[in-house]
Chain A
């Protein structure tokens, strides 16, 4: 209704998440939002500002401090037909709830022979960049991609955040929404708040190119584009950047299409290198497109160490510079 008015104003990532939740809360009485300080305070990052006032405290619920309890509670709610959105304040606090996410929510459909499902959204504010120290700067997605039963989305733009939130709430299966803390306020964009959900499982080419494919997600997409732009100027390399958007189920068709075109691949994520999401990507690409590769697949990731409080933001997190070096390695490689 007020789409035209909203288009004229830019929406931050925070506001987009808020708008997505608001849309679903307003349109589906089975949707509830619960978490620590999500109601009266509007969430630790203010992603749910105003929602309790608008929707009421029966459906926007401040919980005690108890992640495992909150998530398990939401599993029960979902089994009985509600569609809970659970906020974990920082993804680093999600581990206590791991069992309920991976072995209850992600297993009920299968274990009950299709009788039950767990339509719930778990919001996991992730990644470093706010000098949070090792607990508050975590990239947890790799812990959750291991065995299916749960979908994992990671928006890198406000519009995606809005549409993915809507898609996640409507999805009949559990969804882990990996939100990018460093982008919450840093990114804004104009788009129509029309309630149209994102398509789960579809990647997007955010910078077309022909020489090399970067696969990334979340904030690292933006670093990848910066690196690609820089090298286009200095090294005349034409890099394609793909925002994976959905980690599970990932968009194998788009990935292979691009790889077959460029023959060179750099995979970028902020999470540690070993056994990370990039390892799976590399494995799948060499299985399905080995003959198309001109050079070995490169990965850019954090080292397998904790996020350093003092120098983590500068030295631990991958950045455009390190991505640039990987692009050069991939371009210059000689067998």
Chain B
């Protein structure tokens, strides 16, 4: 295996998967898989749209970072996840939680700060966890999740449970020093961790060119001998292929792997972002030309995996899941003031 990271995706390990669904209309995925990914991505999108609405209605307070536009990344990554894989990400986390199987009701109720939320309303949008799903948050400190994810991988390796840690961060986060401390340890100890760098071109109002001396983020592991790969993060099939390659590398005991996902967030950084750092044209161009859901939909049509009617049915189903989540999130009770004092230390 060449240490030098390849710019272009190499052939996926399993079989000769086509690189881009935009070009290739028959990716090496089964029809069921295509539909699964479609549904998962649609769920994230509709969920986030609803979260945006609830925020606008004042039902969600504080911060709310939407994942719209980036759905293919997390859905493609998750599609390769094994039962003992662990996941950790930053504050833009709703999509990750949904993709890794957390209940939309519990996620939405955390956004509204209710008892029924994954952290019982304690953490809010940025700080949610699920032991059941091996989901370790939701982290408000940009970048800090990466060394923690590396520790998860250490535990996976130690317990020899075959698990791989998925540690996600953004293009802004990647300049935090602690990430390089983590890279060194991960490579030194050959830890099974996939660092997923979601390069959506901006860290808050700063474009990657204004923040990073070297903007090819998949190369950031070079001096630690960590292989990296740049991936079209708008193409769920390409993401899946890259995730498989990385996971295979990790599970073979070869150490960490970096995947730079080229992606884009459609909405503002959070809900109160005047977005003066980019033009409306830039956003609409991406939406029109490389929307991950549209791309997959075209691919489904091409493969004749489903009819328009079936897709509409799926859309309806997703909408009702989201509606139910929103209702739950409004009906679930507010925490009691006594809950300020729970879960501080183990209770005797």
- Chain A interface residues toward B at CB < 8 A: 36-37, 40-41, 44, 62-66, 68-69, 92-93, 96, 130-136, 303-306, 308-312, 315-316
Q: Is the CB of B205 within 8 A of A37?
A: yes
Given A62-B211, A309-B124, 4 additional A-B pairs, CB 8 A? A93-B141, A133-B127, A310-B113, A311-B337
Question: How far, in Å, is A124 (CB) from chain B's closest CB?
Answer: 15
Residue of chain A at shortest CB distance from B143: A65
Q: Check B142–A133 contact: CB distance below 8 A.
A: no
Q: Which of B273-305 contact A (CB under 8 A)?
A: 276-277
How far, in whole Å, are A66 and B175 apart by their CA atoms in the complex? 6
Query: Per-residue CB proximity of B199-241 to A under 8 Å, as 1/0?
Result: 0000111100011100000000000000000000000000000
Asked if A316 and B340 sit within 8 Å, CB to CB, the answer is yes
Number of interface residues of B (CB under 8 A): 39
The proximity string for B residues 156-188 relative to A, scoring 1 for CB distances below 8 Å and 0 otherwise, is: 000000000000000011011110000000000
Chain B residues numbered 125-151 whose CB sits less than 8 Å from any CB in chain A: 125-127, 140-143
In the complex, the answer to whether A308 meets B340 with C-beta atoms within 8 Å is yes
| Nearest CB on A from B338, distance (A) | 9
| B62 with A311: CB separation less than 8 A | no
In the complex, the answer to whether B140 meets A311 with C-beta atoms within 8 Å is no
Q: Are B173 and A311 in contact (CB under 8 A)?
A: no
Q: B344 in the interface, Cβ–Cβ < 8 Å?
A: yes
Residue-by-residue, is B99-140 near A (CB-CB < 8 Å gives 1, otherwise 0)?
000000000000001100001011111110000000000001
Q: How far is the CB of B88 from chain A (nearest CB, A)?
A: 15
Contact yes or no, B204 A134, CB < 8 A = no
| With contact pairs A41-B276, A133-B140, A308-B340 given, residues A62 and B206 touching in the complex (Cβ less than 8 Å) | yes
Q: Closest A-chain residue to B112, C-beta based?
A: A310
Instruction: Pull 11 A–B residue pairs with CB atoms less than 8 Å apart, ordered by A.
Output: A65-B143, A65-B204, A131-B113, A133-B140, A134-B122, A134-B123, A135-B127, A310-B113, A310-B124, A311-B121, A311-B334
Give Cα A97 to B235, complex, Å.
Answer: 38
Residues of A within 8 A of B203 (CB): 36, 65
Q: Which residue on chain B has the smallest CB distance to residue A310?
A: B113
Cβ-closest 6 pairs across A and B? A310-B113, A135-B140, A309-B124, A131-B62, A131-B61, A310-B121
Report the Cα distance A312→B124, complex, angstroms. Answer: 11
Q: Select which of A65, A136, A312, A315 is within 8 A of B175 by beta carbon.
A: A65
Say yes or no for B249: interface residue by CB 8 A criterion: no
Residues of chain B within 8 A of A304, CB atoms compared: 344
Q: Is A308 touching B127 in the complex (CB atoms < 8 A)?
A: no
Asked if B339 is at the interface (CB within 8 A of a chain A CB), the reply is: yes
Q: Are A65 and B113 in contact (CB under 8 A)?
A: no
**With a CB–CB cut-off of 8 A, which chain B residues contact A62?**
206, 210-211
B245-286 interface code vs A (CB 8 A; 1 in, 0 out): 000000000000000000000000000000011000000000
B277 proximity list for chain A (CB < 8 A):
40-41
Kindly list chain A residues whose C-beta atoms are within 8 Å of the C-beta of B142. 65, 93
Residues of B within 8 Å of A41, CB to CB, are: 204-206, 276-277
Other-chain residue from B141, B175, B205, B344 in contact with A305 (beta carbon distance below 8 A)? B344
For residue B126, which residues in chain A have a CB less than 8 angstroms away from its CB?
Answer: 133, 135
A308-B122, A310-B334 known; A132-B211 Cβ under 8 A? no
Output the least CB separation between A168 and chain B (Å).
25
Q: How far is the CB of B230 from chain A (nearest CB, A)?
A: 20
Contacts of B125 in A (CB 8 A): 133
Question: Using Cβ atoms and an 8 Å threshold, which residues of chain A touch B175?
Answer: 64-66, 69
A215 to chain B: closest CB distance in Å? 25
Residues in chain A near residue B140, CB distance under 8 A: 92, 133-136
What are the residues of chain A within 8 A of B341 when measuring CB–CB? 303, 305
- Please tell me if the beta carbons of A305 and B124 are within 8 angstroms of each other in the complex: no
Q: Which residues of A sit under 8 angstroms from B177, Cβ to Cβ?
A: 66, 68-69
Residue of A nearest to B336 (CB): A311
A303 contacts B141, C-beta separation under 8 Å: no
Q: Is the beta-carbon distance between B62 and A65 smaller than 8 angstroms?
A: no
Chain B residue nearest in CB terms to A37: B205
Contacting residues, chain B, for A44 (C-beta < 8 A): 204
What is the minimal beta-carbon distance from B182 to any residue of chain A, in angstroms?
Answer: 14
CB-based nearest A residue for B60: A131
Q: Which residue of A lies closest to B179 (CB)?
A: A66
Most buried by B among A62, A131, A136, A308: A308
Partner of B121 from the list A96, A135, A309 (CB cut-off 8 Å) is A309
Q: Which of A68, A131, A135, A303 contacts B340 (CB 8 A)?
A: A303
